[in-house]
Amino acid sequence: MKNLKMKAARAAKDFSQEELADICNVSRQTISAIEKGDYNPTINLCIAICKALDKTLDELFWDEEQ
Amino acid sequence: MKNLKMKAARAAKDFSQEELADICNVSRQTISAIEKGDYNPTINLCIAICKALDKTLDELFWDEEQ
DNA sequence: TCGTTTTGTCAAGTATATTTTACAAATTTC
DNA sequence: GAAATTTGTAAAATATACTTGACAAAACGA
């Protein structure tokens, strides 16, 4: 399932996928795959993404997949 | 860093590591390693743990590792 | 319309999360 | 205090998160 909350939060910061990837020290493909969904990132990466986007885990990653 | 919040939440439910592991469909060693810390579980497993323990991601996995 | 940036996606390789098996120490229960 | 349960931990194997490189389609501004 697509992670639209994350995509929206990234847009709100005006970050490209590559900029967010650089901040989080991962590849652009990893960010793309997470936004696309059907992907299972590690909690540490989720935390890095949240901090880069000024969001919490619950705001970006809760309730996506039931 | 140890995840004491998770250990406390598990104790509050009176689950052994093995019982929680069974509910989450992972091995007991995985649960043990997460509580022990210096471990980086996937977000889907974190969500499964949270639901088993009636907690949210922010309550169990936020602010553990800075 | 052209050039630039952004994004989707794929294939092959590497790093690491998770499993399985196993044993001992610690804790609980009777 | 013995037996049963729980927990810590380790080594080897497997599954999968993540990387690198690459190309094309889409989006966007000049």
Q: Which two tokens stand for residue A63?
A: 């309730």
Q: Which residue among B40, B56, B57 places its CB closest to the CB of A42?
A: B40
Domains of chain A: 4-61 (1.10.260.40)
pLDDT in the model for residue B66 = 45
> Can you read off the two tokens belonging to residue A35?
């936004």
B40 shares contact with chain A (CB less than 8 Å): yes
Instruction: Please give the Cα distance from B11 to B53 (Å, whole number).
Output: 9
pLDDT digits (tens, 9 = 90+) for B2-59: 899 999 999 999 999 999 999 999 999 999 999 998 789 999 999 999 999 999 999 9
Whole-prediction pTM: 0.91
Which token pair is B3? 């995840």
Do the chains contact at A58 and B58, CB–CB below 8 Å? yes
Q: How far apart are CA B66 and CA B64, in angstroms?
A: 7
Please give the full DSSP string across A11-30, using - where no structure is assigned: HHHT--HHHHHHHHTS-HHH
Q: What is the pLDDT of residue A24?
A: 97
Residue A1 clears pLDDT 80, i.e. is over it:
no
What's the confidence (pLDDT) of residue B38? 77
Option in A41, A44, A56 nearest B58 (CB): A56
Distance CA A3, CA B32 (A): 30
User: B42 has which bridge partners?
Assistant: A42
> Which nt is closest to the CA of A20, judged by C1'?
C6
Question: B43 and A47 in contact by Cβ < 8 A?
Answer: no
Q: Who's near A38: CB < 8 A, 6+ residues apart?
A: A1
> Is the CB of A46 inside 8 Å of chain B's CB atoms?
yes
Confidence at A2, pLDDT banded by 50, 70, 90: confident
- Tell me the pLDDT tens digit for each residue of A20-54: 999 999 999 999 999 998 789 999 999 999 999 99
